[in-house]
């Protein structure tokens, strides 16, 4: 059993090899490319399961580390390592499970796409990068794979590169992430300069002995910029909704379940740094809480099925980050895990609907899908219930952990905020369901159930969406909390009052959605017209995109224009001016050389006379003195 540790390096390496193979020799053979890719992730999945079994049957403090020299010089050493502890074992499990299911699902979803082989190559490189990130044992390695994951996101969002919207969304995603990475990189540099190491196993000791609180504050805030970009926290959230331009399985894999979770994972991984500074923690908590609320309010007015899910992802990520910020690291990771399953389920379900309706994404053009797509409908509702936090589904337990944490830690504002967001979540999810899956068929579109490669992953994921929450209940003696924790972190027993309140609130949200969109007792139109300014504000996502576009156009391109002018007119102008002066003086002096001997004669004698006069003057001077 412990032998498995010798093969862990295969987990990230195999998908990379599959990428190399699918991207080069098999690029013309789609079926082989897909087979290679799925085979690689399947092997990684099996190794991950065995590893996880090993870790979770050992004592909670299990740790295994090995590393290779990568970049080495006196004062700077970056290693490529493998770190297996409960946290990374959990993430391995989540990532490989979702990645495997999504790749199988893609067999059906992407069947007719001309870029089939390329798609699987990208999927493989994404899986490899994500697994490399999860296994990293130092910040240098994390940064390397962090950027690679960003690249994969760029490639996959822009997969249909012939669409301008996809192209722009891809660029936006990469650049927004780069802004976060800028801070992240600076944070890493500061860490390296201050502590001389980037290793997760050495840093905690060093930081424990370090007392400069201001430095820890700066480092913490800079490092947090990375997760803000990757986990799409306000104000770097703008890329995530646009990322829905990619194929839907990609949205499920990257923009719901795994990549965006990398930010949260990083906070958990580097929790020992963040938790050193109370200010950093409260920044994290409030950024997360604000994002949760902000995104949930936008979600209630959106009409595109994938965008609703995207904003719900933003909102849930906000929850996780908030959990980290209030010190409930375990709860955050728990929510990450359950969310990965039910959000992947929801996205794949949405993909199934979109696939069936030939790329229609507007929920108002759908309707009454329940009869035609029974599997999709049932699994989607399971996912929505899990997301809304209805007991005993997975989302209930994890969301409850976070709310209990906020309640027990007496973060009253954040607790109330969390409860309100839970209400909004239930409301917008069931708004979607009542409009799209029930009611009348508005668009007259003909739907059909999706093929088996697509429905089977839905069914498997819905099992997880139902059951995954149970790992941290009394049934398993709160196993999750015992393994995924850091020293000094106390686990709050779920408070039953909190549980009851949140269930009631979620039920209220569903009930309200039922009243408005199913029974139509309350008119949605009337509310909309009554609050038209607020509706517009929400519908347009608080105009954040417009503000950024304005800033980009006026500030960035403006300074670009200024600098270009400077370069062409001033810097280059001086150079050309010097050349022009040489040319001009040449053209003037050239007149002296007119080729007439007579003129030259004059010069000679004038010169002679001048010399003579000078000589006379000097001799007179000498004589006078």
Partner 1 sequence: MIGFQHYLLLAALLFGIGLLGIVFKRNAVALLMSVELILNAVNINLVAINKYVLGGSGLGQLFALFVIVVAAAEVAVGLALIINIYRLKKSSDVDDFNILKW
Partner 2 sequence: MMNASPLLSFILFIPLLGAALIMACPKEKHQPIKYIAAAAALISLLLSLIVFLSYDFQKAGLQFTQTYDWIKDWGISYGVGVDGISLPMMLLTALIGFAAVYASWKIADRVKEFFALLLILISGVMGTFLATDLFLFFMFYEVVVIPIYLLVVMFGSTKRVSKEYAGMKLTIYLLIGSAFLLVALIALFITAKDMLGYPSMNIADLAKLNFALGFQIFIYILMVLGFGTLLSMFPFHSWSPDGYAGAPTAVSMIHAGVLKKIGGYGLIRIGLFIFPAGAKVIAPVIAALALGNVIYAAFICLRQKDLKYIVGYSSVSHMGYVLVGIAAASLISINGAVMMMFAHGLMAALFFSMIGNVYEKSHTRSIEELGGLARQMPRMAVGMMLAGLASLGLPGTVNFIGEFTIFVGAFSHYRVITIIAVSGIILTAVYILRTMGAVLFGPRLEQWDHLQDLKGVEMVPLLVLGLPILIFGVLPFSVMDFINSGVASLLAHINNIMIGGIL
Q: Which residues bind partner 2 (CB under 8 A)?
A: 69-76, 140, 143-145, 147-148, 151, 154, 158, 161-164, 167-168, 170-171, 174-175, 178-179, 181-182, 185-186, 189-190, 192-193, 556-557, 559-561, 563-564, 566-567, 571-572, 575, 579
Residue 602 binding target from partner 2, partner 1, none, CB below 5 to 8 Å by type: partner 1
**What DSSP assignment string belongs to 248-282?**
HHHHHIIIIISHHHHHHHHHHHTHHHHTT-HHHHH
Q: Specify the residue, 477 or 567, whose C-beta has the smaller distance to partner 2.
A: 567
Q: Which stretch binds partner 1 (CB under 8 A): 95-103, 112-120, 512-520, 590-598?
A: 590-598
Judged by beta carbon, residue 557 or residue 609, the one nearer partner 1 is 609
Q: Which residue of 413, 547, 602, 616 would you call a contact of partner 1, by CB under 8 A?
A: 602
Which CB, 209 or 596, lies closer to partner 1? 596
73 binds, among partner 2, partner 1, none (CB under 5 to 8 A by kind): partner 2
Task: Establish if 595 lies at the interface with partner 1 (CB under 8 A).
Answer: yes
- Closest distance between partner 1 and the C-beta of residue 559, in Å? 49
SS3 574: helix
For the record, the structure tokens of 76 come out as 């700077």
Class of residue 458 by CB neighbours under 10 A (exposed 0-12, middle 13-18, buried 19+) = buried
- State in angstroms the smallest separation of the CB of 576 from partner 1: 26
Closest distance of CB 609 from partner 1, Å: 11
Residue 574: CB minimum distance to partner 1, A: 31
Residue 586 in the binding site for partner 1 (CB under 8 A): no
CA proximity to 292, closest of 321, 310, 319, 265? 319
Q: How far is the CB of 119 from partner 2 (least distance, A)?
A: 14
Task: Tell me how far the alpha carbon of residue 327 is from its chain's centroid.
Answer: 22
Positions of E strands within 106-163: none
Least separation in angstroms between residue 594's CB and partner 1 is: 8
**Least separation, in Å, of the C-beta of 582 and partner 1?**
19
CB of 26 to partner 2, least distance (A): 14
Q: Which letter does DSSP use for residue 80 in this model?
A: E
Choose from partner 2, partner 1, none: what does 595 bind? Cβ within 5-8 Å by kind: partner 1
| Contacted entry of partner 1, partner 2, none for residue 567, CB cut-off 5 to 8 Å set by kind | partner 2
**Closest CB to partner 2 among residues 178, 365:** 178
Q: Which stretch binds partner 1 (CB under 8 A): 169-177, 335-343, 359-367, 591-599?
A: 591-599
Residue 598 binding target from partner 2, partner 1, none, CB below 5 to 8 Å by type: partner 1
Report the partner that residue 601 touches, choosing among partner 1, partner 2, none (CB closer than 5 to 8 A by kind).
partner 1
The CA–CA distances, whole Å, from 366 to 85, 233, 299, 435, 563 equal 46, 31, 18, 7, 51
State the Rg of the chain over Cα: 32
Instruction: Output 4 or 170, the one with its CB closest to partner 2.
Output: 170
Residue with smaller CB distance to partner 1, 209 or 598 = 598
- Partner touching 619 among partner 2, partner 1, none, CB below 5 to 8 Å by kind: none
Spatial CA neighbour of 89 closest among 60, 55, 57, 61: 55
Give phi and psi for 163, each to the nearest 5.
Answer: -90, 125
Secondary structure string (H, E, C) spanning 575-600: HHHHHHHHHHHHHHHHHHCCCCHHHH
Binding partner of residue 19 among partner 1, partner 2, none, CB cut-off 5 to 8 Å per kind: none
Residues sharing a CB contact under 8 Å with residue 288, sequence separation 6 or more, in sequence order: 233, 317, 318, 319, 320, 321, 322, 323, 324, 325
- Contact at 8 Å (CB) between 365 and 435? no
Q: Give me the least distance between CB of 599 and partner 1, in Å please.
A: 8
Nearest approach, Cβ of residue 598 and partner 1 (Å): 5
By CB under 8 A, residue 601 contacts partner 1: yes
Minimum distance of partner 1 from residue 612's CB (angstroms): 13
User: What is the number of residues in the chain?
Assistant: 625
Segments of 85-230 assigned E as strands: none
Distances (CA, A) of 56 to 40, 477, 581: 24, 13, 80
Return the number of the residue (3 or 72) whose C-beta is nearest partner 2: 72
Answer yes or no whether residue 609 interacts with partner 1 by CB under 8 A.
Answer: no
Asked if residue 6 binds partner 1 (CB under 8 A), the reply is no
Q: Are 55 and 37 in contact (CB under 8 A)?
A: no
The footprint of partner 1 on residues 425-484 (CB under 8 A) is: none
Largest interatomic CA distance in the chain? 126
370, 438 in Cβ contact below 8 A? yes
Which residue number, 28 or 595, has a Cβ lying nearer to partner 1?
595
Q: What angle do CA 334, 338, 340 make, to 5 degrees?
A: 115
The 3-state DSSP class for residue 619 equals: helix
What does 605 bind: partner 2, partner 1, none (CB cut-off 5 to 8 Å by kind)? partner 1
**Closest distance between partner 2 and the C-beta of residue 473, in Å?**
40
Closest by CA to 469, choosing from 396, 389, 385, is 396
Choices 271-279, 486-494, 526-534, 596-604; region in contact with partner 1 by CB under 8 A: 596-604
Shortest distance, position 597 Cβ to partner 1, whole Å: 8
Rounded distance between C-alpha atoms, residue 619 and residue 625, angstroms: 10
**Among residues 440 and 593, whose Cβ is nearest to partner 1?**
593
Q: Which of 270, 294, 258 is nearest to 100 (CA)?
A: 258
CB of 618 to partner 1, least distance (A): 23
- 32 vs 194, beta carbon nearer partner 2: 194
**Contacts of range 413-417, beta carbons closer than 8 Å, 24 or more positions apart:** 413/289, 414/285, 414/286, 414/289, 414/322, 414/326, 417/289, 417/292, 417/293
Question: Which partner from the list partner 1, partner 2, none does 596 bind, CB cut-off 5 to 8 Å by kind?
Answer: partner 1
Backbone angles phi, psi at 83, to 5 degrees: -125, 115
Q: If residue 461 lies in a helix (H) or strand (E), which one and from where to where?
A: helix 452-467
- 7 contributes a contact to partner 1 by CB under 8 A: no
Partner that binds at residue 159, options partner 2, partner 1, none, CB closer than 5 to 8 Å by kind? none
Specify which residues 68 forms β-bridges with: 80
Interface with partner 1, residue 605, by CB under 8 A: yes
Q: Under a CB-based contact definition with an 8 Å cutoff, are residues 354 and 427 in contact? A: no
Residue 561 touches which member of partner 1, partner 2, none, C-beta under 5-8 Å by kind: partner 2
Is 607 among the residues that bind partner 1 (CB under 8 A)? no
**Contact positions vs partner 1 (CB under 8 A):** 595-598, 601-602, 605
């Amino acid at each position: 059993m412990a032998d498995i540790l010798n093969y862990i390096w295969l987990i990230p390496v195999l998908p990379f090899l599959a990428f190399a193979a699918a991207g080069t020799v098999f690029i013309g053979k789609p079926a082989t490319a897909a087979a290679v890719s799925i085979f690689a992730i399947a092997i990684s999945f099996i190794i991950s399961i065995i590893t996880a079994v090993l870790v979770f049957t050992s004592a909670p403090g299990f740790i295994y580390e090995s590393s290779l020299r990568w970049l080495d010089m006196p004062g700077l050493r970056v290693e490529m390592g493998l770190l297996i502890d409960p946290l990374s074992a959990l993430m391995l499990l989540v990532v490989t499970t979702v990645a495997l299911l999504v790749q199988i699902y893609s067999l059906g979803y992407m069947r007719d796409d001309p870029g089939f082989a390329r798609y699987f190559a990208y999927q493989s490189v994404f899986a490899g990068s994500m697994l490399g990130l999860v296994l990293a044992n130092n910040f240098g390695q994390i940064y390397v794979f962090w950027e690679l994951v960003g690249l994969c996101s760029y490639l996959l969002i822009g997969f249909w590169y012939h669409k301008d919207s996809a192209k722009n969304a891809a660029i936006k995603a990469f650049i927004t992430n780069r802004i976060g990475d800028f801070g992240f990189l600076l944070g890493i540099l500061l860490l390296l300069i201050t502590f001389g190491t980037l290793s997760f196993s050495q840093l905690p000791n060093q930081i424990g002995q370090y007392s400069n609180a201001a430095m820890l504050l700066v480092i913490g805030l800079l490092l947090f910029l990375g997760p803000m970009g990757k986990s799409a926290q306000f104000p770097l959230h703008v890329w995530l909704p646009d990322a829905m331009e990619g194929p839907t399985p990609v949205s499920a894999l990257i923009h719901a379940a795994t990549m965006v979770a990398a930010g949260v994972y990083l906070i958990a991984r580097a929790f020992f740094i963040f938790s050193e500074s109370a200010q950093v923690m409260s920044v994290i908590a409030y950024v997360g809480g604000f994002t949760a609320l902000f995104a949930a309010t936008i979600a209630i007015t959106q009409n595109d099925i994938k965008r609703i899910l995207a904003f719900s992802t933003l909102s849930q990520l906000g929850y996780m980050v908030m959990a980290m910020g209030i010190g409930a690291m375990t709860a955050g990771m728990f929510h990450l895990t359950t969310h990965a399953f039910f959000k992947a389920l929801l996205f794949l379900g949405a993909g199934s609907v979109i696939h069936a309706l030939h790329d229609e994404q507007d929920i108002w053009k759908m309707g009454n899908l329940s009869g035609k797509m029974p599997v999709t409908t049932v699994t989607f509702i399971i996912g929505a219930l899990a997301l809304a936090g209805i007991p005993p589904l997975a989302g209930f337990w994890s969301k409850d952990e976070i709310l209990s944490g906020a309640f027990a830690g007496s973060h009253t504002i954040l607790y109330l905020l969390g409860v309100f967001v839970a209400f909004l979540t239930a409301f917008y999810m069931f708004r979607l369901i009542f409009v799209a899956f029930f009611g009348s068929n508005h668009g007259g579109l003909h739907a059909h159930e999706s093929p088996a490669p697509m429905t089977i992953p839905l069914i498997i994921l819905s099992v997880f969406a139902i059951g995954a929450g149970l790992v941290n209940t009394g049934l398993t003696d709160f196993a999750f909390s015992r393994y995924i924790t850091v020293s000094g972190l106390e686990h709050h027993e779920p408070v039953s009052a909190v549980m009851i309140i949140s269930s009631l609130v979620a039920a209220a949200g569903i009930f309200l959605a039922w009243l408005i969109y199913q029974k139509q007792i309350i008119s949605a139109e009337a509310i909309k017209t009554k609050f038209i300014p607020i509706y517009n504000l929400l519908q347009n996502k608080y105009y954040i995109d417009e503000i950024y576009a304005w800033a980009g156009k006026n500030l960035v391109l403006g300074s670009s224009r200024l600098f270009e002018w400077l370069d062409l007119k001033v810097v280059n102008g001086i150079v050309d001016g010097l050349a022009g002066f040489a040319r001009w003086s040449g053209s003037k002096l050239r007149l002296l050389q007119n080729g007439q001997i007579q003129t030259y004669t004059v010069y000679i004698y004038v010169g002679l006379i001048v010399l003579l006069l000078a000589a006379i003057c000097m001799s007179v001077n000498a004589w006078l003195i």
